[in-house]
Structure 1
C-alpha cells in the first residue's frame, strides 16, 4: 500500500523543478542543464535525491566546476582533484572521462580526491549504463568497462515515477517557484521578448537589449490571416 503522505512524482515534474532550482545557482547555464536529471536519478536510486538538494542548495549555489582538475594518468588510473566540489558537480566530467578511457583501453579507472558527498558517486552507475558503460563506484574510485547501452533507472521512473514525501515535494516546488517571474496581469501578457498590451498591440521589450522586430511578428500574423481567408 502506498504512503498517503507521499506523492508519486513523474520525470517531467522532477526535471522541471531541478532545472528551475539549478538556474538559481551561479553555475554556467549550459552546465546547469547537464544536471537536470541528476536529482531525479539520485531519488530513483535511493540516494540523497530531493532531500539532499534541499539541504545542500546553498553549497551548490557556490559550486565551481572549473575547480575540477585532471592531475595525472598513473599506471592506467586517472587522478582527479575535485577542488572540494560536490559529487553532482564532478559527475559530468567523470562520465566523459570514463567513456573516453573505456574507448581507448579495455577499461577505465579514476581516483577522485578532495571530493564532497562521495556517496553520490553511485549515480555514475546509473548514468553510465545509458552511455554503454558498466560503472562501479567505491569510495573515491570509479571504474568502467563497455557494455550494451540501457537505462533501467529512467525506465523505472517513466513507468512508476518516484515516491517523495509530500511535505518535501511542496518545499521543493516553492523553492523552484522563486526562479520564476511573479504572477501578475502584465506577466500573463508577456512571453519571451514581446509584450501584448491591454488593447492587443504587440510591442518589443522596453530595455536597451531589445533586438526583436515586432513588425515581423505582425507581418507573419497578417499573412497567416490572409491565407486563411
Structure 2
C-alpha cells in the first residue's frame, strides 16, 4: 500500500497554517458558552503556556472554578494573560520558601492557582499560608469550591500580589454557580481565547487527518 500524501488532499485546499475553522468576521455582541467549552479551551491554553500534562487537569479545573465563581470577569482576565501575537505566558511551578510560605514567581493565579492551593490544603487548617508574588490573587477564592469537596473551608485575604490563605476545618455553604447551563461572554473576549488555544493542536496535514481515522484516498492505494 502506498499513500500519496503530497498530492491527494480529498479535493480540499489544505496547508499546515490553515484551520478548517475560520474566525468570525465580526467580534461584536455576546455568545453563550457552556462548561464543556470552557473546560476544553482552558485546558488547551494551559498546554500552550507549558503546564505539564500531569498537572493540566487540576490546573484546568481551577480555572473553570474561577469562571464558576467570578463569571466572565475571570475569562476577561484569562484573555489578559494570553495577549495576542506570540507573547504567551510561560508556566513555572510555585516554590516553597519556608513553613507555610509559597512564592508564586509573579505569575497569575489562573496559571498556578492549583498548585498554590494544593500546597495550602497539604498544610491543612492552622496558621494561614502566605503566598508571595501572585497576580490575580483574589481569584484564589475560587478554591472554596475545591475545599468544599474536601469537607473544608477556605479564607483568602489579599494585599496587592500577596495573599494569606487559611484552610478552615468546616465547609460553608457553596456559592451558586455562575456558569449554570451557560454564560454570556463578549465575543471579543471569547474568540481570541479560542484561537489562542488552537496553538495546542497538532498541525493540520493529510497525515494528521489519517491519524483521526480518515480513510486514505483511493488513489493512494495500490
TM-score, structure 2 as length reference: 0.68
Higher relative contact order (CA 8 A, sep 6+): 2
Corresponding residue for 1:34?
58
Is contact 1:190-1:196 (8 Å) kept? no
- Deviation per residue, 1:113-144 (Å, 9 max, x gap): 23223222222223322232210111110111
Corresponding residue for 1:214?
none
Secondary structure, aligned partner of 1:61 = coil
Question: In 2, Cα distance between the equivalents of 1:182 and 1:152?
Answer: 41
Is contact 1:101-1:108 (8 Å) kept? no
Higher-Rg member (1/2): 1
> How far has the Cα of 1:11 moved from its partner?
0.9
Matches within 5 A, 1:1-229: 5-46=29-70, 48-57=73-82, 61-65=89-93, 68-73=94-99, 78-102=100-124, 107-139=126-158, 140-147=163-170, 157=179, 159-183=180-204, 185-191=206-212, 196-199=215-218
> How far has the Cα of 1:199 moved from its partner?
3.6
- Deviation per residue, 1:35-80 (Å, 9 max, x gap): 1123322223226422222221267631211xx222323xxxx122
Point out the structure with the larger strand share: 1
What residue ranges of structure 1 are gaps of 5+ in the alignment? Answer: 203-229
> How far has the Cα of 1:162 moved from its partner?
2.1
> How far has the Cα of 1:87 moved from its partner?
2.1
In structure 2, relative to structure 1, the CA distance for the partners of 1:181 and 1:94 (3 Å cut) is closer
Number of equivalences: 186
What residue ranges of structure 2 are gaps of 5+ in the alignment? Answer: 1-27
Question: In 1, Cα distance between the equivalents of 2:136 and 2:217?
Answer: 51
Is contact 2:62-2:114 (8 Å) kept? no
Superposition RMSD in Å: 3.2
Q: Which segments of structure 1 move beyond 6 Å, counting only runs of 4 or more?
A: none
TM-score, structure 1 as length reference: 0.67
> How far has the Cα of 1:10 moved from its partner?
1.1
